[in-house]
Amino acid sequence: MFNIIGKRYWYFLISAVLIVPGLIAMIYSTVTYGTPVRLSIDFTGGSLMVIKFQQPATEDAIRDVFMSYDFTNPMVQQLGRPEDNTWQVRLGFIDVEKVDEIKASLAGQIGPIDEASSSLSTVGPAVGNEVARSAAVAVVIASLLVGAFIIVTFRRVPNAFRYGVSAIAAMVHDILVALGFVSIMGILFSWEVDALFLTAILTVIGFSVQDKIVVFDRIRENTPKRRGESYETIVNRSILEVIHRSLATQLNAMFVMIAILLFGGANIKQFIAVMLIGMVTATYSSIFSAVPLLVVWEKGEIGQFFRRLRRREAAA
Amino acid sequence: MRDRNVGLLMGVIILAVAAIWVALPTNPGLHIHLGPINFDRNIRVHQGLDLQGGLQVLLEADLPEGQEIEAGAMDAAKVIVGNRVDALGVTEPLVQSQGERRIIVELPGVKDPELAIATIRETGLLEFVNAGSTFLSPGTVVRTDFGGSVAPTEEMTPTPEITETAAVTPTVPAAPTPTPAPELVFPTVLTGRDLSSGGLSIGRKQTTGELYIAFELTSEAAPKFADFTSKNVDKYLAIALDKEIISCPVIKSAITEGKGVIEGRFTLEEARSLLVQLQYGALPVPLRVETTRTVGPTLGQDSVQKSVTAGAIGLSAVFLFMLIYYRFPGLLADLALAIYALLNFAIYKFGLPPLFNYVTLTLPGIAGFLLSTGMAVDANILIFERMKEELRAGRSLGAAIEAGFSRAWTSIRDSNISTIITCAILFYFGSTFGASMVKGFALTLIIGVTISMFTAVTVTRTFVRFAFDAFGDRLRDKKWLLGV
């Protein structure tokens, strides 16, 4: 039988390699922008205008118009292909009544605007703060409830508590990888986190836990059947039994997400990219983080590890 | 067992046919008229603002933090905003309270979002109108020369003549002259802005017991009013709110101190409501625009097009995968998956009365649907993998099929429950704040996961059992058809 669990410390190392760059990016981002990931106006408040001109425009020309309305630092970015003539401008919170005036200036100084292909969002700072706060609350509550659910459904398995905690630890691992990815993309390509991103994270949580439950469920089934075998062997057998299903499911989810990435609208691509990263990580972590963690815990290796560490310190 | 299976299959077929009927793009809706029964229900796709374009505004009470809002004030504001929105002539506008201090307004397909916002936010306009010797009965809608409401008529009708005095009686509402034709334009003397908001109060006349509203003018407006009233003693001074006359008193004497009263045979409630309107404008609570989202219609349609393409490609890949990897059972799963997609779409159009009557489709909503499809497929994968295992372990085909479904069920149930838990949190988060897109995602995902437990398990099982009964003998020799 192929031994997956035997190499468990290697997987922990791989996870570290996945998470650490993201953590560094988050620290860098916190120092540079004030937050671990760059936040969109949904959380900070402000305005986001998407303007489609009927003729080519330049970044400077657009910025100049906004500067003339006393906006200190408008962020102007081109969207899509150059021939789309579509630009995105991020500003502080603006009064809606001013928008008509600004649009008239833009039309006058640059060229006519295609209103039907333009959009505007403004978010007041108060709402932004609230959204950010309740986003954090939503993620925490979701994790706790799902963890509690696992402990309840696995109550007949010895040490059900460990299953819940391992699932949550692996899920946190998945969230960290997804967050790190967004943080890196934020630094490199100014990706921002919006309300949709929160949806992606919560979906990853749901998918991640679903995946872990499937793997744990097999362990739950095999435990009473194979009393003679060691825990490690039972776990390893369970993984090998469900690995086909994990790969097939992951592949199907990837078909749909990659199709959206390639052919879908530009406005949900970042959302799907985060979800894709999160889901691939979730499938990985079910087998290579959650289960090894269970084994390590079951065999008391965590305690041993710290004891060994202390002994080494004492020796030094 | 067999009879039950046939019954289930019939049920599935009926459900599928009903779903196809609802999903038909040309669906005429339900119109039942049988004697006293009149039932009309349109069945169509409701597109969210991000798909069809439009405006979403979140209005918040513009009061200092912590200040109590009077009971019912927000509801009244909601009604007033609703009336104004109706006046914009948008189809299917949505005005909803959100929490205690907020109102959310959605206007699909609105052409000029800035104008719409201005209309919603506009405070009630109070005018003191020089009616001359014409008595204007309350409720009359008049034109005034204030604001943009004057139509540029070539023939400007002048102020009603002031010379005619015969019809004027000293008491207020008696013997009114006929209400003037609507094309008369009256000059506005003062507006609500000229009132100092602190100087408003309700009083009761000692002689008659009638209620009145005492007002005080700002220091700039007082001399103007003094001048006007001294020249127009015994004439009518109409008071109009949003161009509608609320009272039409006679000027009994020049008002020089900048103080006056509005009489109008008010009930106490009317007096209070008028006082509130004078204080805050017609909205009982001043509203501030907290967030806005406008999407151009072309942008939305572009997204729909792309999502449909992406969805079609992604789903085709899934269908193909199931067929190639699981062969015959995969084909049955694909069939169940098609029914799954139909049922979802039917629910988006028809809702689940009495819970809800339709699901507004948004981009995240479409993403939620596609994701739930992935989970529906996962259930089938779990079952079929289990079936293969059981077959490899040497079980008979019939036993393997039953074991596949029953053993995979705990995994499917538990994993879907955990998804539903997260969805519920998402849904709650989405409804509390302006993040309606999060709500759309959660709703389609939750609907999808629930339906998938039925289609991927019950429907697929019915198909597989039926196929086993029909072709079981032939399948036994052709294991490759089962993907083993």
Residues of A within 8 A of B297 (CB-CB) are 116
* Residue B255 near residue B229, CB atoms below 8 Å: yes
B16 and B139 belong to one structural domain: no
pLDDT at position A7: 85
What mean pLDDT is predicted for residues B183-195? Answer: 77
Judgement on whether residues B329 and B442 belong to the same structural domain of the protein: yes
- Residue B278's CATH number: 3.30.1360.200
Out of B248, B282, B316, a domain closes at B282
Residue keyed to tokens 């001359």: B132
Query: Residues B330, B427: one domain?
Result: yes
| The predicted structure's pLDDT at residue A174 | 94
**Together in a domain, A52 and A162:** no
B189, part of any domain: yes
The residue with tokens 């489709």 is B361
Taking contacts as CB-CB distances below 8 angstroms, the residues of chain B near A268 are: 307, 363-364, 367
Q: Specify whether A170 is located in the same domain as A196.
A: yes
Say if residue B134 is in the same domain as residue B75: no
Query: How far is Cα B317 from Cα B461, in angstroms, rounded to an integer?
Result: 23
Residues B163 and B115 in one domain: no
Chosen domain end from A89, A122, A155 = A122
Question: In total, how many domains does chain B have?
Answer: 3
Please report residues of A whose CB lies closer than 8 A to that of B325: 248
On whether both A150 and A251 belong to a single domain, the answer is: yes
Q: Does A195 touch chain B (CB under 8 A)?
A: yes
- A14 to chain B, closest Cα gap in Å: 26
Q: Which residue has the tokens 């100014």?
A: A190
Same domain for A289 and A218, yes or no, is yes
Residues of chain B contacting A146 with CB distance shorter than 8 Å: 418, 421-422
The answer to whether residues A109 and A130 belong to one domain is no
Q: How far does B409 lie from chain A, in Å, by closest CA?
A: 10
Please tell me whether residues A147 and A55 are part of one structural domain: no
A271: CB partners within 8 A, 6+ apart: A196, A197, A199, A200, B364, B367
pLDDT in tens, B303-314: 788 888 888 999
Domain count for chain A? 2
In a shared domain, residues B368 and B390: yes
Is A252 in contact with B374 (Cβ distance < 8 A)? yes
A237 in reach of chain B (CB within 8 A):
no
**Which range marks the domain in which residue A299 is found?**
5-38+126-310
- Tens digits of per-residue pLDDT, A244-299? 888 998 898 888 889 888 888 777 788 889 999 999 999 999 999 999 999 988 88
Strand partners of residue B104 = B58, B96
Is-contact B124 B241, C-beta < 8 A? yes
Q: What is the pLDDT of residues B231-273, one digit of tens each?
A: 888 888 888 876 778 778 788 788 888 888 777 777 777 777 6
Query: Is residue B19 predicted with pLDDT exceeding 60?
Result: yes
- Based on the domain organization, do B338 and B456 belong to the same domain? yes
Of B293, B321, B373, the CB nearest to A121: B293
Same domain, B262 and B313: no
Most A CBs within 10 Å, among B361, B429, B445, to test the A interface: B429
Q: B-chain residues within 8 Å CB-CB of A213?
A: 411, 414-415, 418
In this predicted structure, the answer to whether residue B228 has a pLDDT above a threshold of 90 is no
pLDDT at B124: 63
What residues have CB less than 8 Å from B119, skipping those under 6 apart?
B84, B87, B88
Quick check: A146 and B441 CB within 8 A? no
SS3 state of residue B111 = coil
Domain boundary among A122, A154, A174: A122
Question: Are B86 and B184 members of one domain?
Answer: no
- pLDDT at residue B460, as a whole number: 93
- Same domain for A225 and A255: yes
Give the range of the structural domain holding residue B114, as residue numbers without chain letter.
54-121+288-293
Domain presence at residue A316 = no
Contact B105/B118 with Cβ under 8 angstroms? no
A313 contact B CB<8A: no
B158 beta partners? none
A68 & A136 share domain: no
User: Is B375 at the interface with chain A, CB within 8 A?
Assistant: yes
Full DSSP string of B3-44: HHHHHHHHHHHHHHHHHHHHH-TT---EEEEETTEEEEE---
> How many residues are recorded in chain B?
484
pLDDT value of residue A240? 92
Tokens found for residue A60: 């400077």
For residues A203 and A146, what is the distance between their CA atoms, to the nearest angstrom?
13
* Residues A194 and A139 both lie in one domain: yes
Which residues in chain A show pLDDT less than 50? none
Of the partner residues B58, B313, B425, the one whose CB lies closest to the CB of residue A138: B425
| A315 is a domain residue | no
- Residues 36-95, chain A: which have Cβ within 8 Å of B? 42, 50, 52, 95
Alpha helices in chain A (DSSP H): 8-33, 41-44, 59-67, 96-109, 125-153, 160-189, 195-225, 231-263, 269-285, 291-298, 301-315
**Yes or no, beta carbons of B370 and A260 under 8 Å apart:** yes
Instruction: Confirm if B249 and B172 have CB atoms less than 8 A apart.
Output: yes
Residue B376, domain CATH: 1.20.1640.10
Average pLDDT over residues B96-100: 80
Of A199, A206, A217, nearest to B410 by CB-CB distance is A217
Write down the residue that tokens 């955990």 correspond to. B418
Mean pLDDT of B203-230: 84
Claim to verify: residue A242 and residue A138 sit in the same structural domain: yes
Task: Give the pLDDT of residue B168.
Answer: 36
Domain boundary among A87, A122, A157: A122
pLDDT at position B273 is: 67
**Residue B359 and residue B348 in contact, taking contact as beta carbons nearer than 8 Å:** yes
Strand, helix or coil at B186?
A: strand
For residue B54, which phi and psi values (nearest 5 degrees)? 145, -165
pLDDT in tens, B421-473: 888 888 887 766 555 667 888 889 899 999 999 998 999 999 998 888 887 77
Query: Residue B148: which pLDDT band, with cuts at 50, 70 and 90?
Result: very low
Q: What is the CATH number of the domain that holds B75?
A: 3.30.70.3400
Per-residue model confidence (pLDDT) at position B423: 87
Is there a single domain that holds both residue A102 and residue A90?
Answer: yes
Judged by DSSP in three states, A86 sits in strand
